[in-house]
Each structure stands twice: as structure tokens, then as C-alpha cells.
Amino acid sequence: MHIRKMAAMGQAVVVLVILLSLLYPAPAAHASWLDRIKDIYQLPSNVEQIQKDYDATKQQLEEQKDKLSEAVRQSQEIEQRLLSQNEALKKDNEQLQERLKAMEQVALDKDKRNRKITYMIITAAALVVGYFLLGRVFRFFVWQRRKRGMR
């Protein structure tokens, strides 16, 4: 009887374990070996898609690199053109400065010449006036002497 009791108790424990397992939710499903095999067979299509995405991204990067290098080349051309224009403008500016100095020097020389001519005319006029005045004074003294000598 003791064995029967134990067998009945074992059956009760098994029934209790089954009931308790039904009450608890089932654990999350894990991929079985069959799902893994399916993923392996789908892997080549995934690799192809990844390769296509990689190639597209690489092509975009190449296009951007080409655009960037073209932009750099254009900016260098513009910089060279601006530098050459700047040099030409500097040369023109230097030439204009030299012409301005030459014109200022010509104006100064003209002013000097005009002053010299003015001084020469004034001196000549003063000499002519002095000559006439001296002649009059000389005649006056000569006239005074004659007048005294006649007396």
C-alpha cells in the first residue's frame, strides 16, 4: 500500500506540474534549426542587396568627389584670374601715380617759370622807369648848373 500511495502521489505531482505549466505563459519562441537554414538560403539575396546599396553609395561618393574637385578647380581658376587682374590693376595704379607726379612736376616747373618771367618783367620795367627817372634827375642837375653858371 505504501507503493500505491507513492504512485498516486507521483501521479498527483505530475498532474499538478502539468496544471501549473498550463497556467504560466510559454517562454519566447526561439528560432529553430529550420528557421536558421531558411535564413542561410535567404542570405545571398541579402548580400546582393547590401552589395547594391554599397555600390550605389560608392557611386554617390564618387559623384560628390568629382563635383567637389570641379568646384575646387573652378575656384582656383577664379582665384588665378582675380590675382592676375589685381596685378594688372597694381601696375596701372603705379603708372598713374608716376604720371600724376610728372604732371605735378610740370605744373611746379610752369609756376617757377611764370614767377621768373614775372620777376624779369618787373625788373625790366623798374630799370626802364629808373633809367627815365635817372635821366630826368640828371637833366635837372644839368639845368640847375647851367642856371647857376649863367648867373
pLDDT in tens, 18-49: 766 666 665 655 656 656 666 666 666 677 78
Cα 148 to Cα 128, 137, 139: the distances in Å are: 30, 16, 14
Scanning the chain, the segments in alpha helix (DSSP H) are 2-23, 33-150
pLDDT in tens, 43-95: 666 777 888 888 999 999 999 999 999 999 999 999 999 999 999 999 999 99
Mapping DSSP onto H, E and C, the string for 63-77 reads HHHHHHHHHHHHHHH
Q: What is the largest CA-CA distance in the chain?
A: 208
Read off the amino acid at residue 115: R
C-alpha cell at 89: 590693376
Give the lowest-confidence range in 40-54, 99-113, 118-132: 40-54
C-alpha torsion angle, residues 105, 108, 112, 117 (rounded to 10): 100
